[in-house]
Structure 1
Amino acid sequence: MAASITIGGVAMPEPKLNGLKISRNKIWSKNAGRGADGTMTGDIIARKWKLEIEFLPLTDAQMATVEAAVEPAFFNVTFRSPKTGKNITVNMYAGDLTCPVYTYVGGKPRYVGVTVNLIEK
C-alpha cells in the first residue's frame, strides 16, 4: 500500500520506495547542555514531526500540484503516524523544494528526484 500524504486536503503524488522518512525531533529547553562532568541536563519542551519526502518521477501537472501545496507559509499535512498507526493532521511548513528536470517529453519537463522536507510549526 502506498504512503498517503495530503497537504491542505490535496492528495500528493506517491513517494518513491523508501522515499518517505518520518521523524520526531526533540526541542530542548534553553538550559539544556552538558555539565562539567559530561552529564546531560535540560528538559524536552516539545517533539515536532518532520517528513522528508522524495517523490516518484513527476509530470508537469504533478509538479505543479506539489509546488502549489507547499507555497503557503503554513499548511495542514495529513499522514500516517508511526506512533499510533493512524492518520494525523499536523500544521507544518516546507523547507526548500528541489525540482530536478530529468528530460522533456513532448516539450514538457519530467521531474526525477523531487524532494521536500515538511516540518511541524
Structure 2
Amino acid sequence: MHLAKNLIWVKGVLLPSPDIDGYNVTRCKTWEPNTGRNAAGTTVGSILCWKYKIELKWSFLTEAQVKSLRNLFENKPDYFAVKFDYDGEYKEITAYSTDLTASGKLYAGSGYYYKSVSINLIER
C-alpha cells in the first residue's frame, strides 16, 4: 500500500509514492557547540537550529524506477532542492542523501523488481 501521490520532489522530479510506512519526516535539533552536561549532571546549552530528515522506503519498484532513482541521487550536485509535504504544507529545503539501498531483486513475469528500496534525505 502506498501513500497519496505528490509527496516529495527532488531536483524538480516527483518521486514515486513511498510505502504507507515509508515516509517519515523528523525535525532534528542541532545544538550549539559546547552543549552537554556540567559537573552537576545538568544539561546546558541551547538549540542552534532545526533541520529536517526525510526517510523514504518503497516496496516492489521496477528495475527502471530504481535506475531512475540512482541517476537522480548519484549524479551531481551533492546538495539539491527538495520539496516535501509536512503536516499538509509543502516545505522546500536544500539537502543531501544517504546511500540508496535496493535489495531483494526478483523476476515477476513482466520484469525485474526490487523488494525493498530506501534512502534518507538530510537538510544541509
Is the TM value for this pair above 0.5? Answer: yes
Q: What's the offset of the Cα at 1:104? A: 2.1
Q: What's the offset of the Cα at 1:102? A: 3.0
Q: 1:75-86, aligned counterparts within 5 Å?
A: 75-82=80-87, 85-86=88-89
Aligned-pair Cα RMSD in Å: 1.7
Q: Report the Cα distance in structure 1 between the residues aligned to 2:86 and 2:110, rounded to whole angstroms.
A: 39
Identity, in percent, stands at 35
Q: What's the offset of the Cα at 1:101? A: 3.2
The size of the alignment, in residue pairs, is 119
Q: 1:11-90, aligned counterparts within 5 Å?
A: 11-71=14-74, 72=76, 73-82=78-87, 85-90=88-93
Q: What's the offset of the Cα at 1:109? A: 2.7
Which amino acid is the alignment partner of residue 49 of structure 1?
Answer: Y
Q: Contact 1:12 / 1:65 at 8 angstroms: preserved in 2?
A: no
Where does structure 1 lack aligned partners over 5 or more consecutive residues?
A: none
Q: Contact 1:14 / 1:56 at 8 angstroms: preserved in 2?
A: no
Which amino acid is the alignment partner of residue 46 of structure 2?
Answer: D
4+ runs deviating over 6 angstroms: none
Q: Contact 1:74 / 1:93 at 8 angstroms: preserved in 2?
A: yes
Q: TM-score, length-normalised on structure 1?
A: 0.89
Q: Report the Cα distance in structure 2 between the residues aligned to 1:92 and 1:108, rounded to whole angstroms.
A: 33
